[in-house]
Amino acid sequence: MPNLKDLKIRINSTKNTQKITSAMKMVSAAKLRRAQEQAVAARPYAERMERVLGSLAASMAGKDNAPALLAGTGSDQVHLLVVMTSDRGLCGAFNSSIVRQARKMARDLKANGKTVNILTVGRKAKEQLKREFQPLIVGSIEDVGKPRLTFDAAAKIAVQIRHMFEAGEFDVCTIIYNKFKSAIAQIVTPQQLIPFALASANENNAAKTADAQLYEYEPDEESILADLLPRNMSMQVYRALLENAASEHGARMTAMDNATRNAGEMINKLTINYNRTRQANITKELIEIISGAEAV
Amino acid sequence: MADQVHFELVSPERLMFSANVGEVIIPGTEGDFGVLAGHSNLVSTVRPGVINILDESARITDRIFVEGGFAEVNGSSCTVLAERAQKVDDIDRLKADQALADAREDLQDAKNDVERAAAAAALEIAEARIHALATSVY
């Protein structure tokens, strides 16, 4: 029979755990809200950037002097995977689902005879990928969103990627991050960064071409595009980081909610066990007293 | 209303300015240009400098310093996308001087072309910022 004192200790420690997890849940909920606000604030910029870029790209289509960031190097031999995770754990399957996707992509690319390089953003990606892909990791960046995710931090990453590209270290760059759908659902999204694929370029190409002719460009299309593409890259990285931050907090919130609930269930079970044991002890003592009295 | 331009200044982190104004003077790469209502459609890059926002009686209401970006003029609206922007009144003279000194130093210490280009860009921004302060009365 379990000792009463041991049970009491277990109940208390589970209660403490529950307090921690529910506090973490609360903190994540607050952080999630902030991350979402930031993502919303970034939207106007992204939308306008996309619109201008769309009309520019449409008017550049068919010309063969498009910048390399848009057109690529003409080869797809060397791939760079930018794997974005969080710095901290305890957020459910958030990190492992990104890493799983990264691993799969790396294996597939290698199987097709391509060269793969990996740039990790966030401590978890590095920790989880280095076991299998240690020689492929060309760099790792940590502490990105501390204390607050800024555009500068994202721009720095983008500049680093761009320098690698200009140095000819890779042909195709893909970022892997979690797209925030809701607090329960995050979607692992690989997004090609270089050469840049316009999301809506094909859908309403005709409309955009019509638009494009209405604009005057100063200095000229090529210069603007050359100026715009690096900015757009920073923006894409920033957006991915924002989505990732929101996803991380969402995932942690859900994970901590589950943990709190499980702790509650465990406390209930343990309390029932404790009460039963206590009752059994009392009954046992009563029997002992009664049988002692009868014997006299 | 027809004589107003809807001007928006957007940075990646927030929408910094959004209002109907009389005229906007934007420091384009190829020279300053003013946008009034009915300006033809235009996309231009912006150099580091000051955006002047004027009301209908051509008085300057706001002066905002941007570190480059690009502008889109479309019908009666004008949008400037800038990665970093601040009001001229908020510029800290000491910090601006410090940034200028740092940029000069970086340019001298630059070892390769990439560093040199980055330092030169920073220097241009720092100089433009000082210039913005110097011309605070238009």
Distance from CA of B7 to the nearest CA of A (A): 13
- With CB atoms and an 8 Å threshold, state whether B40 touches A163: no
Residue A198 confidence (pLDDT): 64
List the single residue in A with minimal CA-CA distance to B42: A216
The string over A251-289, giving b where at least 16 C-beta atoms fall within 10 Å of a residue's C-beta and e elsewhere, is bbbbbbbebbeebeebbeebeeebeebeeeeeeeeeeee
| Spatial contact of A274 and A8, defined as CB atoms under 8 Å apart | yes
Residue A120: is its pLDDT beyond 80? yes
Q: What is the pLDDT of residue A56?
A: 77
Whether A91 is catalytic is yes
Query: By percentage, how much of chain A surpasses pLDDT 90?
Result: 42
Q: What is the mean pLDDT of residues A270-281?
A: 94
Q: Write the residue in A52, A163, A231 that is nearest to B43 by C-beta.
A: A52
Between residues A246 and B117, the one the model is more confident about:
A246
Q: What is the pLDDT of residues A8-56, one digit of tens each?
A: 999 999 999 999 999 999 999 999 999 999 888 888 888 888 888 877 7
CB atoms inside a 10 Å sphere around CB A193: 22
Q: What is the mean pLDDT of residues A200-219?
A: 57
User: pLDDT-based confidence at A145, cuts 50/70/90?
Assistant: confident
To the nearest whole Å, the CA of B42 is away from the closest chain A CA by: 5
pLDDT of A201 above 50 = no
Asked if B12 lies within 8 A of A223 by C-beta distance, the reply is no
* ipTM surpassing 0.85: no
What is the rounded average pLDDT for all residues in chain A?
86
**pLDDT tens across B97-137, in order?**
888 888 888 888 888 887 888 888 888 888 888 888 877 55
With a cut of 80, say whether residue B67 has pLDDT above it: yes
Residues A90, A91, A92: CA angle, nearest 5 degrees: 105
User: Is the model more confident about A98 or about A223?
Assistant: A98
Average pLDDT over residues A172-186: 89
Contact B41 A216 (CB under 8 A): yes
Give the residue from chain B lying closest to A46, CA to CA. B12
Which pLDDT band holds residue A199 (cuts at 50, 70, 90)?
low
pLDDT band at B95 (very low <50, low <70, confident <90, very high): confident
**pLDDT tens digit sequence for B71-92:** 988 878 899 999 888 888 888 8
Chain B residues near residue A51 by CB distance under 8 angstroms: 72
Which helix (H) or strand (E) is A280 found in, with range?
A: helix A221-295
Contact state of B12 with A219 under an 8 Å Cβ cutoff = no
Question: CB neighbours of A201 closer than 8 A, spacing ≥ 6?
Answer: A54, A57, A58, A208
Of B8, B14, B45, the CB nearest to A224: B45
- Sequential DSSP letters for A57-69: HHHHTT-TT--HH
Q: Is the dihedral of CA A126, A128, A131, A132 positive or negative?
A: negative
Which residue in A91, A98, A106, A172 is the catalytic one? A91
Q: Decide if pLDDT at A202 tops 50.
A: no
Task: Return the pLDDT at A64.
Answer: 61
Closest CA of chain B from A67, distance in Å: 17
Which whole number is the average pLDDT over A139-150?
A: 82
